[in-house]
Amino acid sequence: MTLPPSTSASLAVITGASGALGAAIHNRLSEAGWRVVATYNTRAPGPARQDGDSTWVHFDAAADASTEALRQAVDTQSGRLHAVFACVGAPSTKRPVAQTPISEFQSVHEANALSFVRTWHAVAHRARSDGTSVLAVGSDAGQAGRANNGPYTAAKAALEALVVTVAKEEEQHGVRVNLLAPSLIDSPLAHHVMALKGVTDPDSYFAQLPWGRPLTLDEVAGACIELATAAHWSYTTGQIYPLGAVR
């Protein structure tokens, strides 16, 4: 586990912290003594509240008000903003492009790509002054281009392009921006996606993966935190890092 880079409680932002991976990152940082501004959308952790060293904020990738709410929550926090983890995302319905409505392309793009733009709009001023490290969570789907996954593939590819673009724009301010692109993670979302694909025996499906298993939430959360906060990654920016195995 990477410790905060200073003796004072370090500050991080996690969008999508009520999702499985965001929650795993949040738990690890909280256990290590970080202060966290965490967002939720459909799965609220109870009423929006300030809970110990975590401040929860409602964040909807489709709402302008969410950008301002997150900005205000970050601005109330003292100290340096060390890291931002952009974990918001949503899957497609796993249909061919010809059978997928335009509205689904729009909503999936909003959740996976425009959520990152809203996050950046909310934290950019603070990140520039603090030399923040930004880590977006993508997917191997951004480059794999699998059939029946057009909206998600397109959205994750757009997210990768945004990460590289923002990294080039913000290098002058000392801001690092990278993306981790994991393969299948064992999570409730993965099981939902497998159901959409018609998978009725997840264990057999997992057995066909490299190493005979999917990634675990804990190892992906650990990789996210390592990449965003460890000193030996401090040179990297504008990089897309796959987290998977050869098939």
pLDDT at 40 over 60: yes
d(CA 18, CA 44): 7
Rounded to the nearest 5 degrees, what angle is found at the Cα of 43, between the Cα atoms of 209 and 176?
Answer: 65
For range 204-221, the mean pLDDT: 94
Bridge partners of 57, per DSSP, are 39
> Where in the chain does DSSP place strands (E)?
11-15, 35-40, 50-51, 54-58, 81-86, 133-137, 176-182, 240-243
Residues 218 and 24: beta-carbon distance below 8 Å: yes
Give the type of residue at 234: S
For 120-169, what is each residue's pLDDT tens digit? 999 999 999 999 999 999 999 898 889 999 999 999 999 999 999 999 99
Task: Please count the residues of the chain.
Answer: 247
Residues 11 and 54: beta-carbon distance below 8 Å: no
SS3 174: coil
Range of lowest pLDDT (47-56, 61-70, 202-211): 47-56
6 falls in which pLDDT band (50, 70, 90)?
very low
pTM (predicted TM-score): 0.92
pLDDT at 4 over 60: no
Tokens of 116: 């990152």
